Amino acid sequence: MDVISVITTKRDRGRLSDAQIDWVIDAYTKGDVADEQMSALAMAILLNGMDRAEIARWTAAMIASGERMDFSSLPRPTADKHSTGGVGDKITLPLAPLVAACGAAVPQLSGRGLGHTGGTLDKLESIPGWRAQLSGEEMLDVLSSTGAVICAAGDGLAPADKKLYALRDVTGTVEAIPLIASSIMSKKIAEGTGSLVLDVKVGSGAFMKNLDDARELASTMVGLGTDHGVRTVALLTDMSTPLGLTAGNALEVRESVEVLAGGGPADVVELTLALAREMLDAAGLKDADPAKALRDGSAMDVWRRMISAQGGDPDAALPVARERHVVTAAATGVLTRLDAYGVGVAAWRLGAGRARKEDPVQFGAGIEIHAKPGDPVKEGEPLLTLHTDTPEKFDYALASLEGVIDISAVGTTYGFRPIVLDRIA
């Protein structure tokens, strides 16, 4: 077997055989297939797709490339959550300790930023001392002692996906539904969680721009999870406008702590609670009340223990960018659109994301949002504050914000879109 024949099969809209899939995943993991060759195959998959059997085999091959974890020794039921990525999507940060405070164990394997979307690990690494890389034994210890752990997948867990995940970020192939589904589900199935709730984002700031594509992705992942014995549910949630009032690493950590303290933006709180209820239900803890755990401080207690257990200082000052630039309202009226994609690209250009897989991120970079769609605004008042350590990036970031803000006349009625759009089970 050779990689050229595999690439050309998919390039010519053919169906990859089980043998081709098994071979190319194994060969790429070992380094026998080069990054540029896998990039070509990923682009062919993006353009020509895969059928259900191909996706299932691709996912199985990714799982088989490494080890599988086992949490059966824990006294609690396990529940995990995964988001397909959005702008300002910091939900994992308050969600994991919240669900743990309600009685479940949350083994949350998370990733880094992909394109214009933020990465959970990048955000948490803005906390001084916090470690994303844990051994399997360390992960189990943190999970046993605190009830929740957020960390990177170990080198032994779906190593094929770890290589491909970084490659997709820098080759324009992030949006391929078969690769998204197999990437997410290979890690989650290998992780060994008993139940899984998927947050599939829909809208301009998501990889799935419309409901039909989002339903296809959600249904594919729910099917993959169910076939492997993992109780899986998906919520389709809105990503037409940024989630919360921040986009960027340390900025989103601050906002997450506000939620855990009983405050925070209403949309972040609403989605956190909706996902928490789904996770608790899937774990068999239907009577738990996540709203109470936010009010009484128990979720905050778990957060502090979880951060400390991974070497972080929950009381340490978070990084702050050296430079700021304020974007003001061009007119008086009602803000009717703040495009999530434009804001995400601007945050990425400011340094909150990476252009190459080996690039560092600026922990203090990002965007503060001072008004959301539906809010009244006045000409000259701040709409956004841009943060970066490298002020030469402001013009580049501002270019991505052109045409993403709409302000209508005073008295305009704004039609609010619900956060949760659908549920797939």
Give the number of residues written for the chain.
425
Closest CA to 106 of 258, 287, 279: 279
Does 181 lie in the same domain as 228? yes
**Residue 150, H or E segment:** strand 148-152
Q: Is 291 in contact with 276 (CB distance < 8 Å)? A: no
Burial of 415 (0-12, 13-18, 19+ CB in 10 A): exposed
Residue 235 belongs to a domain:
yes
Burial of 75 (0-12, 13-18, 19+ CB in 10 A): exposed
Low-confidence ranges of the chain (pLDDT < 70): 357
User: Annotated catalytic, 296?
Assistant: no
Does 381 lie in the same domain as 340? yes
Does 39 lie in the same domain as 136? no
Give me the phi and psi of 118, to 5 degrees please.
-80, 160
Does 121 lie in the same domain as 175? yes
Does 242 lie in the same domain as 146? yes
Write the CATH number for 330.
3.90.1170.30
pLDDT value for 231: 95
Catalytic residue among 10, 116, 163, 187: 187
CA distances to 116, 196, 262 from 216, rounded to whole Å, are 22, 17, 35
User: Annotated catalytic, 183?
Assistant: yes
In one-letter notation, the amino acid at residue 165 is: Y
Quote the longest CA-to-CA distance of the chain: 66
CA distances to 4, 13, 20, 60, 261 from 1, rounded to whole Å, are 9, 19, 7, 19, 57
User: Annotated catalytic, 161?
Assistant: yes
**Rounded to an integer, what distance in angstroms lies between the CA atom of residue 28 and that of residue 410?**
57
User: Annotated catalytic, 5?
Assistant: no
Residue 387 belongs to a domain:
yes
Closest CA to 353 of 316, 295, 397: 397
Residue 12: strand, helix, or coil: coil
pLDDT value for 347: 97
**Rounded to an integer, what distance in angstroms lies between the CA atom of residue 329 and that of residue 383?**
6
| C-beta atoms surrounding 324 within 10 Å | 13
Catalytic residue among 10, 82, 116, 354: 82
Does 121 lie in the same domain as 86? yes
Does 287 lie in the same domain as 202? yes
What's 393's DSSP letter? G
Q: Which tokens belong to 309? A: 């257990």
Residue 418 belongs to a domain:
no
pLDDT value for 74: 93
Does 218 lie in the same domain as 107? yes
Catalytic residue among 168, 188, 231, 277: 168
pLDDT value for 207: 84
For residue range 233-246, list pLDDT tens digits in order: 999 999 999 999 99
Residue 419 belongs to a domain:
no
Residue 60 belongs to a domain:
no
CA distances to 24, 41, 143, 215 from 36, rounded to whole Å, are 13, 9, 38, 31
Residue 40 belongs to a domain:
yes
CA dihedral 122, 127, 129, 133 (to 10 degrees): -30
pLDDT value for 112: 83
Does 127 lie in the same domain as 234? yes
Catalytic residue among 110, 126, 183, 240: 183
Residue 114 belongs to a domain:
yes
Half-sphere exposure of 59 (CA within 13 A, CB side): 29
Q: Which tokens belong to 183? A: 């990437």
Does 252 lie in the same domain as 105? yes
| C-beta atoms surrounding 15 within 10 Å | 12
**Residue 399, H or E segment:** helix 394-400
pLDDT value for 118: 84
Residue 115 belongs to a domain:
yes
**Rounded to an integer, what distance in angstroms lies between the CA atom of residue 228 and that of residue 218?**
16
For residue range 9-57, list pLDDT tens digits in order: 999 999 999 999 999 999 999 999 999 999 999 999 999 999 989 999 9
**0.85 surpassed by pTM:** yes
> Which residues form the domain of 21?
3-49
Coarse DSSP helix, strand, coil percentages of the chain, rounded to the nearest 5 percent? 45, 15, 40
Per the structure, how many domains does the chain have?
Answer: 3
User: Annotated catalytic, 82?
Assistant: yes
- Is the CA virtual torsion 19, 166, 341, 423 positive or negative? positive
Does 351 lie in the same domain as 294? no
Q: Is 290 in contact with 280 (CB distance < 8 Å)? A: yes
Q: Which tokens belong to 185? A: 């589900």
Catalytic residue among 161, 169, 238, 339: 161
Does 99 lie in the same domain as 227? yes
Q: Which tokens belong to 184? A: 């997410």
